[in-house]
Every structure is written in C-alpha cells, then in structure tokens.
Amino acid sequence: MRYAQITGWGKYAPPLLMTNDDMAKIVDTSDEWIFSRSGIRQRHYSHISTGDMGWMAAEQALAAAGVEADDIDLIVLGSTTPEEICPNTASYIMNKLGATKAAAFDLNSACTSWFYALNAATDMIRAASINRALVIGSERISLAMDWQKRESCFLFGDGAGAVVIEASAEETGLIASKMSCVPDSRECLRLPGWGLSPTHLTEDYFISLDFEGQEIFKSAVKGMFEAIADVLEKQHLTAEDIDLFIPHQANIRIIQTLAKRLNFPMEKVVVAIDEYANTSAASIPLALCDALQEGRVKPGMRILTATFGAGLTCGAGIVKWGDRVEPIATSDKSVAPYEGTVFDLMADSFVHYGIDAKHLLSKG
C-alpha cells in the first residue's frame, strides 16, 4: 500500500495587523462585540499577492522537508483569491520556487480548498501517478471586504500555509477523508460577481460579501459533523481515539458547538482564530503549523480535521502523523517590507466602499 506522508510544513503570516480596536476606527464596532461573537482579536493583512504568500509558505515547507524544488511532481494551490484565473496562480508559485519538473493547478472550493487539494494530491500519490507534492492554501481575503457591512467585514484575514506530502509505505498522512456539499445552500455565503462575468465588461466592479450567519452556522455544523462521522466510521474509530482536532477557523462558536456534539474536550482542539481570523483556505495549514511549533503534535498522533466553505462545501479527514515533528531546516527567503500602516495599505479599499479614513493615514 502507498500512503502520502506529510514531511514538511510552512506558513506565511503577513506582518501588518488589523486589530479589533483598529477595526472600530473604520466601522461601528468594538473589540468586545467582535470577540464575543467570533473569538477574533486581530487579523493579518497582506501587502503581497496570494501567489507570493503561497510561495513564501512553500519555501518553508520545502526546507522543513529537506526537499529541493526540483523534486516536486505537483503543486496544488487551494485559493478563492488568485490574482489571475488564467494562467493559474500555482504556475506562478512553481516558477518562483524553480520547481521545473512540477505540474501545477489551482483548486477553488472556498474555505475547503486546501483540504480538497490535500485529498486530491494524496489520492494521486496513492495511485502512483506522482511521488511528491506541495499542497498550498493561500488567501488575500482583505481585498474582498465590504466596509459598509459591519456584520462581516471583521471576519477575514490574509495568510498562507503549505505542506509537502511524499509517498510512503507506512500508514501515514491523510488516511481517511470525506468531501461533501450541502444542497441548495449556495446563496447564504457568496461573493456575487467574484469571477468572470459579462457585467464586468460594462459596469463598475463592486465586491460585496453575502453572509447569512444563522444559516451558515446551522449548515456548517451539520455538514462537518456528518463528514466527521463518516471518516471515523471508515477507520472504526470514535472521538475518544482522536489525539488532536484542527478544525477550519471560521468562528469560535462553530468550533465549540462541533466539539460539544463530538463530546471532544476543547483542550485537544487547536484554536487559532483569535490570531488570524478566518483565512479561508489557509486556516487549517496555518493552525497546523502553529500546533507543530507549540509542540502539540506528537509522533504517531491521529489528527482530525474538518472544514466548510461557500457552496456550502464540507469535508473531514483523519491524518496519521509520522515520526518527525521538527523541521529539517528553515528557509531564509523574504519579501520587502511594507512602508506604511495597515490603514495606508487599505486606503484604496476604504475609498472604494465609501469609507472616509483620511485621518488614519500616515503623514508625509
């Protein structure tokens, strides 16, 4: 039997922070209001592109695995926010890495994109069509925030995470998975016009997130719970057999409700939403990297993951961790810093959505 062991991991968290107190200078909100409803304290906003964030995370993952870019057979980018639809952004990352032998494609299933990409690449390794892959989740969601919508503009942040997976004879990596999509639920979470449509050729482009919180909550918990039940049954396991749970970081209340339904203690759940907010496709690999850095991942652990996104796409998986929990090396790659504040970075966005934030911009 062939398996797809995770041998490397890496992340990129943009240095510019938009705290809840910063958010309150833009919209009518407060740190207490945001944190009590979501568990979010801050979010990272990026001055570099989705592709460059993915490249930075991928460099760290390659170094952690001790693998050269030329050894990679496939690069899959999970993302809702590629800077281009054609050509794909994975090919940009391929060129930045110098991964000259790799195939490259993007996968978009919203917040589930990284998990779906991991599932696809794992199956390709198990089928022996490839031996080694980079699976990346990278999102620049800050570009899609409607600052006139108090109920949703605080929810999302930017960032990237990546893993290297390699063929192995040991039962490691993603050993069970379930992907699904809740019927008739597309309208409760969407970015109308976020893509190619004829209206873009004739009208001003105005992005605004449609977000029906109660419907998303109900469908997300139900969809993830059913997917989790499926993968546990496939492996003849119960929640008590799981060592660590890394869910999609969308809302602390969703995470807590799901853990309660599973009768799973919160001390065994990785929570990173306070640090990053919802980074969509990047949320699980970012949380995984933090769990490894904090020493929460141990050799041989069974790690449960579950996710949902616009569509509403859902999924769950069980990862059997290998022996190594320390990176072989780290990458020294870097990008030029941003010379300004987070308010300078977002100035054009504020203007686009009719927000007067001139008093917050840097002077001179």
Instruction: Please write the tens of the pLDDT for every residue from 144-177.
Output: 888 888 888 899 999 999 999 999 999 999 999 9
Q: Which residues are catalytic?
A: 111, 248, 278
Q: What is the pLDDT of residue 311?
A: 73
Q: Residue 352 domain-assigned? A: no
pLDDT band at 364 (very low <50, low <70, confident <90, very high): very low
Percent above pLDDT 70 for the chain: 91
For residues 200 and 193, is the Cβ–Cβ distance under 8 A?
yes
pLDDT band at 282 (very low <50, low <70, confident <90, very high): very high
Domain that holds residue 63: 3-326
Q: Residue 252 domain-assigned? A: yes
Q: What is the pLDDT of residue 84?
A: 84
Mean pLDDT value of segment 70-95: 95
- The residue type found at 110 is A
Mean pLDDT value of segment 47-62: 98
Percent above pLDDT 90 for the chain: 77
3-state helix/strand/coil string of the chain = CCEEEEEEEEEECCCEEEEHHHHCCCCCCCHHHHHHHHCCCEEEECCCCHHHHHHHHHHHHHHHHCCCHHHCCEEEEECCCCCCCCCCHHHHHHHHHCCCCCEEEEECECECHHHHHHHHHHHHHHCCCCCEEEEEEEEEHHHHCCCCCCCCCCCECEEEEEEEEEEECCCCEEEEEEEEECCCCHHHEECCCCCCCHHHHCCCCCCCCEECHHHHHHHHHHHHHHHHHHHHHHCCCCHHHCCEEEECCCCHHHHHHHHHHHCCCHHHECCCHHHHCECHHHHHHHHHHHHHHCCCCCCCCEEEEEEEECCCEEEEEEEECCCCCCCCCCCCCCCCCCCCCHHHHCHHHHHHCCCCCHHHCCCC
How many structural domains are present in the chain? Answer: 1
Cis peptide before 312 (omega within 30 of 0): yes
What does the angle CA 344 – CA 88 – CA 12 come to, to the nearest 5 degrees? 45
Q: Residue 358 domain-assigned? A: no
Residue 308 scores a pLDDT above 80: yes
Q: Residue 347 domain-assigned? A: no
Q: What is the CATH number of the domain that holds 211?
A: 3.40.47.10
- The residue type found at 303 is I
Residue 251 scores a pLDDT above 90: yes
CA distances (Å), origin 272, targets 185, 211, 217, 227, 246: 27, 22, 18, 22, 9
Q: Residue 175 domain-assigned? A: yes
Instruction: Please write the tens of the pLDDT for every residue from 177-236.
Output: 999 877 766 655 555 656 555 454 455 555 666 555 677 777 888 999 999 999 999 999
Instruction: Please write the tens of the pLDDT for every residue from 90-140.
Output: 999 999 999 999 999 999 999 999 999 999 999 999 999 999 999 999 999
Q: Residue 333 domain-assigned? A: no
Q: Residue 338 domain-assigned? A: no
Residue 25 scores a pLDDT above 70: yes
Q: Residue 350 domain-assigned? A: no
